[in-house]
Structure 1
Amino acid sequence: MRKLAEWLKPYLPMLVMVAVMVTPRLLLAGTDTTFDDVSTMFGDWISGSLGKTFSILALTVGAAIAAIRQSFIALFAAVGVAAAANVGPGILEGIIEATF
């Protein structure tokens, strides 16, 4: 084992350089279209009527819990969920579709 390590020692910088040059190409999947249909379908659902329905349900449930407990914390959480349902898909698409 020690002889193998001694033998590889001069080649180590070259192996590291090759690994650094090859790794980004292996990890890049910027043009992959495997899940485009599913991504578009879920994006349309969340951006469309399903997202609005989730937002309205979250606000309704939050308002009901806030009225029962007489605390606005549940209402604030519901507003956060509603905002995330409306704004979140656009932010996620921007992050996922970003190319460097």
Structure 2
Amino acid sequence: MPVLISSIEDPSLEMRMEGSLPDYNRSTQEFRLNRPIGDDWLQYISHVPKPPPLIVRTEESTTFVVFERRDDAERFEQWLVDAREEQDRGFRTMRG
């Protein structure tokens, strides 16, 4: 499932990432991915971007995240890459 990340400052910027979609809470502006550790499925990797994105929208199975500035979009992309790596490590700790 793709996540498209872009910025208003640089409309030509479009970062497309495949993989699990992060949950997004509009009221807290928090993104999070689940990260099981062993048998504990209640662990999460969370992030509140500063400044927050201007737009977060999911349509069908694609999530669009739009920031004002390019460097904010790039920082969010790096968080998502790192969070997915941490999520993968968590899945590898599962027992059974």
Larger helix proportion of the pair = 1
TM bin, normalised by shorter chain, reads under 0.3
TM superposition score normalised by structure 1? 0.26
Identify the structure with bigger relative contact order (alpha carbons < 8 Å, sequence gap 6+): 2
Larger strand proportion of the pair = 2
User: Which of the two has higher C-alpha Rg?
Assistant: 1
TM superposition score normalised by structure 2? 0.27
